[in-house]
């Protein structure tokens, strides 16, 4: 392993190359995800809602319930939910 100014050059190069490969894999996966959403949209699905569902599924159920309860509380406080919202 070469040592240039206190830096393990071979090891550093290996880390950089691994990160570059992973970044390329990430780009390929992002393109694949984009294609799936495009296909879903072509079949009449609302992609914005699908993205929200994917996001919600990542959250633990009890945390999601807490978040939804606070959201509901705020919507009611602002008159954006329930019977008051329908009158507007």
Note the pTM of the prediction, 2 decimals: 0.68
The model's pLDDT over 53-62, given as tens digits with 9 standing for 90+, comes to 999 999 999 9
Domain ranges of the chain: 1-45, 58-88
pLDDT at 81: 87
Burial class (CB in 10 A: 0-12, 13-18, 19+), 47: middle
Element (H, E) at 8: strand 7-8
The model's pLDDT over 21-33, given as tens digits with 9 standing for 90+, comes to 999 999 999 999 9
Instruction: Please tell me the distance from the alpha carbon of residue 81 to that of residue 77, in angstroms, as a whole number.
Output: 8
């Amino acid at each position: 392993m070469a040592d240039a100014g206190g830096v393990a050059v071979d090891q550093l190069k290996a880390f950089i190359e691994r990160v570059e490969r992973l970044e390329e894999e990430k780009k390929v996966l992002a393109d694949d995800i984009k294609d799936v959403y495009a296909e879903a949209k072509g079949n009449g699905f609302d992609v914005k809602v699908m993205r929200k569902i994917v996001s919600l599924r990542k959250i633990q159920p009890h945390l999601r319930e807490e978040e939804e309860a606070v959201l509901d509380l705020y919507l009611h406080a602002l008159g954006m939910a329930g019977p008051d919202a329908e009158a507007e």
